[in-house]
Amino acid sequence: DAKTTQPPSMDCAEGRAANLPCNHSTISGNEYVYWYRQIHSQGPQYIIHGLKNNETNKMASLIITEDRKSSTLILPHATLRDTAVYYCIVRVVSNQGGKLIFGQGTELSVKP
Amino acid sequence: EPEVTQTPSHQVTQMGQEVILRCVPISNHLYFYWYRQILGQKVEFLVSFYNNEISEKSEIFDDQFSVERPDGSNFTLKIRSTKLEDSAMYFCASSDRAGAYNEQFFGPGTRLTVL
């Protein structure tokens, strides 16, 4: 699975958009980009995933660059409850379910 | 909304003792996982399980570890002879599908403390 690079921490004002970057310059054509988050001491939570098109769901938007070497997770209106560690994970999908390889992630602090 | 549950929430044991961590995955899910997180460190994959057998395991998952799905609802992780370095939060996860839409739902974790 390709390696990802994320900033260790970011701050965001409550109500503003949080834009979390991820570099995955060695991504290969069959690897997907996944985002999970972990609110303090809880189990990780799936947010969104994509291959090459931009994706949006109830939680967030995922913007993947055309060359797929980087992506940005956007939380459009961050709340205090969005304070968490956000993980960008690149992996090949597997018909046996597949493992998640977590890095250090970005610790997002949403401030009032 | 269905969720993964884990028991106990906190387990304290003496070094060398056996522990069993229990998980109840979401009921229609077929893919099961264990991960662990040592305090202050990243979440690490231990093992995946499908169709009553291990699909994949990490280097951490040595002979001291085993997994079992003893009935239709429980999924357990056994550590035969605990070491101090096994102290961690253990997360169970499950998913209803493979492929790109393999969204893994995590439980709240069991904090294992080995003394």
How does pLDDT run across A23-47, given as a tens digit for each residue?
Answer: 999 999 889 999 999 998 899 999 9
- Cα separation of A46 and B110, whole Å? 19
Distances (CA, A) of A6 to A19, A30, B115: 12, 21, 35
Nearest CA to CA, how far is A17 from chain B (Å)?
25
Residue A92: pLDDT band (50, 70, 90) is confident
Task: Choose the closest CB to B91 out of A43, A103, A104.
Answer: A43
> Which pLDDT belongs to residue A1?
62
Residue B13 has pLDDT above 70, yes or no: yes
3 state SS for A73-105: EEECCCCHHHCEEEEEEEEECCCCCCCCCCCCC
Residue B95: closest C-alpha in chain A: A97
Percent of chain A with pLDDT over 70: 98
Summarised one tens digit per residue, pLDDT across range B80-90 is 999 999 999 99
Residue A89 has pLDDT above 90, yes or no: yes
A102 with B106: Cβ contact below 8 A? no
Q: Which residue, among A47, A100, A104, would best test binding to B if mutated, counting the most B CBs under 10 Å from its CB?
A: A100
Average pLDDT over residues B28-35: 95
> Which pLDDT belongs to residue A98?
85
> Which pLDDT belongs to residue B100?
79
> Which pLDDT belongs to residue B70?
87
Residue B23 bridge partners (DSSP) = B6, B75
For residue A63, which phi and psi values (nearest 5 degrees)?
-110, 120
Measured between beta carbons, which residues in chain A are less than 8 angstroms from residue B59?
none
Nearest to A93 by CA among B29, B58, B98: B98
Average pLDDT over residues B48-70: 94
Residue A2 has pLDDT above 70, yes or no: no
Nearest to B90 by CA among B11, B1, B3: B11
